[in-house]
């Protein structure tokens, strides 16, 4: 499996801002592809960033970044509670909670 390439937050913010500005000016069709190439970012990565900004801003349906972080916290808490409240010889955790 290939390693995940992390881009600096400044690149992400700039790229998203450029795509959103291009869309406002009516250049939506090729904005992601053009801007991704100019900045050396994968096009699908840029599309994902833009989509998440739109979800977080309430412009598209989906799970917000804050909600996702809270879900991760709650799942971790449930795992810890299940482990601490059950004897060691009981069944292992369901796969969905591991």
What H or E segment, with its residue span, contains residue 25? none
Q: Write down the pLDDT at residue 1.
A: 56
What pLDDT is recorded for position 9? 93
Domain match, 13 and 50 both: yes
| Burial category of 47 from C-beta neighbours within 10 Å (exposed 0-12, middle 13-18, buried 19 and up) | middle
DSSP code for 24: H
Number of domains in the chain: 2
Please tell me the distance from the alpha carbon of residue 2 to that of residue 13, in angstroms, as a whole number.
24
pLDDT recorded at residue 92: 65
Same domain for 44 and 25: yes
Low-confidence ranges of the chain (pLDDT < 70): 1-3, 86-93, 97-98
Q: For residue 38, what are the domain limits?
A: 7-62
């Amino acid at each position: 499996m290939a390693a995940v390439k992390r881009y600096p937050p400044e690149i992400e913010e700039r790229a998203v801002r450029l795509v959103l500005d291009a869309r406002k000016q009516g250049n939506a069709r090729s904005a992601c592809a053009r801007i991704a190439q100019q900045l050396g970012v994968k096009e699908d990565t840029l599309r994902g960033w833009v989509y998440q900004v739109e979800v977080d801003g309430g412009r598209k349906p989906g799970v917000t970044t804050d909600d996702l972080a809270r879900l991760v916290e709650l799942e971790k808490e449930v795992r810890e509670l299940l482990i601490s409240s059950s004897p060691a010889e009981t069944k292992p955790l369901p796969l969905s909670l591991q």
